[in-house]
Structure formats: C-alpha cells, structure tokens
C-alpha cells in the first residue's frame, strides 16, 4: 500500500440501500424482473431513483409487506406466491426473476432462498428464480449489484476457452467501445458480466481472465475465483491514467506488448486530454472531500488529484477491499487520509472544519450542506453516468467541474428587480 493513512470509523450512516442498484441492473438485462419484498418505503425509493412510475409497467416492482405480515398475523410466503403467480401470468416475457430482500423482509426472517427454490420447481423451464439481499442494514447501495451477480454465477456453465471477462455493469455504448479497443489490441474474445440478456450468461473456467470495471464486487470476485477464473488486478478504468493501466494489465495477461496498446490508445488519450482541459482549469487547486457511499471514492480521488490537480482533504469509503484496491492505493499521493466506514456526524464536523470547495456525498447530505454554503456532487450520479474509459475522461471531469462553475455564475449574477 502507498503512504496513505488508513483509518476506520463506525457509527450512524447516511447511505442508500442495495435496492438502488435495481435501477441500472433492470436496464442492463431487459429480460429480467426484480421483485422487491419490502415496504411501501422500498417501493417509493426505487420509483424515485428510477424516475419511473409503477403503472408504466417497468421491469421491477415491490411485493408489499403489510403490517399483518410484519406482525406475523399472515403467512408472507403465501402472499408472495400470489404476487409471483399474477406477475408471471401478466408478464410472460420475464426469463429471470430476482427476489430481492429488504430491511423489513430480513427483520422478519423471510426465507427468500426457499421461496425461490419452490418457485423454480413450479415454473421449471419457464422462468428462473434467484434471490439476493438489497437490505441497507449493513451494506451500501452498490453492493446490491454484487449480490445480484453472485446469485447468477451458479447458473454459468463451464468452459476451458480462453477469454477476457469484463465484470460489472457499464453503459452499453461504453462496453461496445471498450470491446473495439480490446479487439484492436489483439484480444478478440471478450464478454461481459452481467450480460445484456440474463439468459445469455457467459461460460467461465480456468482460462477465463476477469477484469473488473467496478470496485464494489468483492463477493462476485470470490465466487469467480472459486470457479477457477483468474483475476487481473489493475486500477479501474476512470480517466486516462486508470483506463490506460487497466488496458495494459489486460494486455499483459494475454502476453501482448505494451507498445501495441499505446499505439492503439494514443489518439484517444490526445482527445481526452483536450476534452479535460477546460474542466481542469476549474478544478485545479480546489479542495475535495469525499464522503463514503458508492465505493468508487478511491478511484475518483485518484483521478481528480492526479489528472485534475485537486487537493484531497479526506477520502471516505464504506468498505475497503485492499486486494481489489491495491493498485489504486499505490497511485494516491503520500499521506492521503482514507477513512473506511462512517460516523456521519463526526465526518460532517470534519467537512465544516476543513472548508472544502467540493464535497462528493449522498443525496441525503447534499441539500443540508448546500444550505450551509458547501458545494456538493451526488455520488450516485457516478453509477448512472457513462464514465468508464479514456474517451469518457472529459465527461467524468465535467461532472465535478459543473457544480463549481454553476456557483461561479450564480455568485456573479446580480438580482434584477422590475418595478411596475
């Protein structure tokens, strides 16, 4: 590990739960349906995050646990069976149905694994049922994807074919561009997990080399290793630096010369640096504080310091997997303060004391901080935006420069009143 200072903290937290990941997972796999077993609050959260009303028939929904279910006055398993039967009858296009646990379902010990097993027997050959937890009791919102991918791994068939497997949800257009770059480098057999259709799972085995696109997939990585896959450890593909080292690590795993990689990506790097320049002028020298929420914080800190020349005050992360993050940690400046976990009140005190120019945080903290005159950026935007790869570096920098630019514009505006 670099000269970073690693601290741990625990206490009250302010993060979204894993149900939020349904928003990007249901878009990635349009033949899948995500049925949350939870409260009306769970339903409201997902609808709000997705910007889709439930009457629009999206590919997610909520089986509402009523007070009688929570009090043990009704059999929640029977109620859930009725909901599923009705759903499958109305939506025959569903190929995979995820039963997603929530805080309420976990509190009453609802056994969704057993429910999924029974439903698989009933709907054999028609729909595949899986389950995972989206509860926020002990996890943050990106770990919902980790649970969903882990649930899919037992369905993946085995192969000895050599391939590169990109693991973690990314935008389809970004995936297409990355696959083209790999092809130009000389890596032709590239697949993605999760796939664009839940029933088109890639095969895996001892000759599968896994390259992560997202840093929050610890359980998924562990299960892929148990299936014999080789993990390629690298920084994550955010910005020019991270994406270049990410591509070089893949090339090295396939015994491709680094010179070939540089030949392919040189034009991309030139365009990316030009695109970043106006944003860098705004960000350079600004003080940055990252509160823990998405597990992207360390990679973002590396990008914003090394490529945009921001000054890092503190880098928070909900959970730190040192094996997956070692390459990122080595790229951080000496004495970077990293805090794993959260005591939100203490961290907010440090935010106020340090007077940062920009705070990256969750939506629940952003408005109160803005009211105090502290400028913020929602961390959840990073998982909804196409930010991966060299050619997205300008857009990534723009996500952070815009709040500062907006403040500059507003602070120079003069309020004009009209008299009638």
Residues 148-187 pLDDT 10s: 999 999 999 999 999 999 999 999 999 999 999 999 999 9
Closest CA to 212 of 170, 183, 174, 179: 170
State which of 82, 106, 139 marks the end of a domain: 139
- Asked if residue 24 belongs to a domain, the reply is yes
- Asked if residue 157 belongs to a domain, the reply is no
Residues 291 and 401 in one domain: yes
State which of 210, 234, 260 marks the end of a domain: 260
Residues 135 and 33 in one domain: yes
- Asked if residue 4 belongs to a domain, the reply is no
Distance (Å, rounded) from C-alpha 91 to C-alpha 97? 11
Residues 78-133 pLDDT 10s: 778 888 999 999 999 999 999 998 888 888 788 899 999 999 999 999 999 999 99
Q: Which domain holds residue 220?
A: 163-260
Tally the residues of the chain. Answer: 420
Residues 7-20 pLDDT 10s: 899 887 777 788 88
H helices within 313-362, ranges in order?
322-329, 344-354
Residues 88 and 172 in one domain: no
Residues 95 and 175 in one domain: no
Residues 103 and 188 in one domain: no
- Asked if residue 371 belongs to a domain, the reply is yes
- Asked if residue 38 belongs to a domain, the reply is yes
DSSP secondary structure letters along 358-387: EEEE-HHHHHHHHHTT--EEETTHHHHS--
Residues 364 and 317 in one domain: yes
Distance (Å, rounded) from C-alpha 394 to C-alpha 274? 8
Residues 287 and 398 in one domain: yes
Residues 246 and 368 in one domain: no
pLDDT at 406: 83
pTM here is 0.91
State which of 260, 286, 320 marks the end of a domain: 260
CATH of the domain at 80: 3.40.50.1980
Closest CA to 228 of 313, 302, 165, 283: 165
Closest CA to 352 of 375, 376, 377, 374: 374
Residues 185 and 133 in one domain: no
- Asked if residue 144 belongs to a domain, the reply is no
Residues 225 and 289 in one domain: no
Residues 116 and 30 in one domain: yes
- Name the range with the highest mean pLDDT among 71-75, 102-106, 230-234: 230-234
Distance (Å, rounded) from C-alpha 65 to C-alpha 67? 7
Residues 392 and 281 in one domain: yes
- Asked if residue 347 belongs to a domain, the reply is yes
pLDDT at 131: 94
Beta-sheet strand order (sheet of 163-167): 190-193, 163-167, 208-212, 230-232
- Asked if residue 400 belongs to a domain, the reply is yes
Distance (Å, rounded) from C-alpha 341 to C-alpha 13? 8
Give the total number of structural domains in the chain.
Answer: 3
DSSP secondary structure letters along 224-238: HHHTTPEEE----SB
Measured CA distances, 374 to 92, 287, 312, 356, 377 (Å): 49, 12, 16, 7, 10
Q: Are 365 and 397 in contact (CB under 8 A)?
A: no
- As a whole number, mean pLDDT of residues 23-47 equals 87
Three-state DSSP class for 17?
A: coil
């Amino acid at each position: 590990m670099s000269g970073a200072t690693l601290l741990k903290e625990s206490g009250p937290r302010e993060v979204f739960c894993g149900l939020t990941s349904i928003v990007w997972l249901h878009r990635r796999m349009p033949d899948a349906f995500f049925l949350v077993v939870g409260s009306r609050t769970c339903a409201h959260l997902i609808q709000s995050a997705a910007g889709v009303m439930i009457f629009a028939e999206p590919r997610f929904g909520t089986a509402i646990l009523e007070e009688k279910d929570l009090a043990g006055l009704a059999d929640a398993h029977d109620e859930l069976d009725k909901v599923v039967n009705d759903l499958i009858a109305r939506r025959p296009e569903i190929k995979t149905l995820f039963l997603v646990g929530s805080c309420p379902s976990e509190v009453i010990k609802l056994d969704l694994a057993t429910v999924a097993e029974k439903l698989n027997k009933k709907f054999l050959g028609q729909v595949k049922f899986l389950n995972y937890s989206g509860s926020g009791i002990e996890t943050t919102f990106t770990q919902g994807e980790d649970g969903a991918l882990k649930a899919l791994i037992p369905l993946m068939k085995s192969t000895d074919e050599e391939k590169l497997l990109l693991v973690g949800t990314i935008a389809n257009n970004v995936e297409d561009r990355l696959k083209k770059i790999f092809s130009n480098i000389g890596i032709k057999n590239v697949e993605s997990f999760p796939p664009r259709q839940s029933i088109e799972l890639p095969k895996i085995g001892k000759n599968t080399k896994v390259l992560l696109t997202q840093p929050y997939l610890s359980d998924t990585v562990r299960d892929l290793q148990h299936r014999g896959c080789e993990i390629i450890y690298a920084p994550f593909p955010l910005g020019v630096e991270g994406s270049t080292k990410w591509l070089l690590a893949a090339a090295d795993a396939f015994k491709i010369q680094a010179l070939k990689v540089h030949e392919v990506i040189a034009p991309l790097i030139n365009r990316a640096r030009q695109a970043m320049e106006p944003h860098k002028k705004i960000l350079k020298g600004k003080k940055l504080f990252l509160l823990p929420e998405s597990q992207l914080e360390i990679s973002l800190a590396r990008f914003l310091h090394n490529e945009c020349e921001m000054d890092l005050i503190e880098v928070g992360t909900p959970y730190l997997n040192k094996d997956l993050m070692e390459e990122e940690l080595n790229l951080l400046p000496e004495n970077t303060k990293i805090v794993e976990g959260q005591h939100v009140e203490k961290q907010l005190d440090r935010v106020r004391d340090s007077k940062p120019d920009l705070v990256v945080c969750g939506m629940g903290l952003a408005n109160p901080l803005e009211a105090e005159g502290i400028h913020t950026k929602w961390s959840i935007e990073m998982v909804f935006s196409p930010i991966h790869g060299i050619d997205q570096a300008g857009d990534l920098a723009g996500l952070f420069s815009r709040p500062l630019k907006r403040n500059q514009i507003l602070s120079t505006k003069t309020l004009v009143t009209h008299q009638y």
